[in-house]
Amino acid sequence: EIVMTQSPATLSVSPGERATLSCRASQGISNDLAWYQQKPGQAPRLLIFRASTRATGVPARFGGGGSGTEFTLTISSLQSEDSAVYYCHQYNRWPIIFGQGTRLEIK
Amino acid sequence: EVKLVESGGGLVQPGGSLRLSCVASGFTFSTHWMSWVRQAPGKGLEWVANIKPDGSEDQYVDSAKGRFTISRDNAKNSLYLQMNSLRAEDTSVYYCARDFPWAETGTVVWGQGTLVTVS
Rounded to the nearest 10°, the torsion over CA B111, B46, A87, A22 is: -160
Judge whether A41 is closer than 8 Å to chain B, CB to CB. Answer: no
What is the spatial distance between Cα B54 and Cα A71, in angstroms, rounded to a whole number? 34
Judge whether A9 is closer than 8 Å to chain B, CB to CB. Answer: no
For residues A13 and A104, is the Cβ–Cβ distance under 8 A?
A: yes
Average confidence (pLDDT) over B6-32:
98
pLDDT(B104) > 90: no
What is the spatial distance between Cα B116 and Cα B119, in angstroms, rounded to a whole number? 10
pLDDT(B55) > 90: yes
- Quote the pLDDT of residue B31: 97
What is the spatial distance between Cα A26 and Cα B88, in angstroms, rounded to a whole number? 29
Q: Which residues of chain B make contact with A89, given a CB cutoff of 8 A?
A: 45, 47, 101
Average pLDDT, 10 consecutive residues per value, chain A (107 residues): 97 97 98 98 97 97 98 97 98 97 97
Instruction: Kindly write down the DSSP assignment for every residue of B4-43, as one continuous string.
Output: EEEE--EEE-TT--EEEEEEEESS-GGGS-EEEEEE-TTS
Q: Residue B61: which of A43, A49, A95 has the nearest Cβ?
A: A95
Q: Do A46 and B107 touch (CB under 8 A)?
A: yes
Look at residues B93, B97, B119 and name the one whose alpha carbon lies nearest to residue B107: B97
Alpha carbon of residue A10 to chain centroid: 13
**CA distance, residue A20 to nearest chain B CA (Å):** 20
Task: Supply the mean pLDDT for chain B.
Answer: 97
What are the residues whose beta carbons fall under 8 Å from the beta carbon of B87, sequence distance 6 or more?
A: B14, B118
Judge whether A44 is closer than 8 Å to chain B, CB to CB. Answer: yes
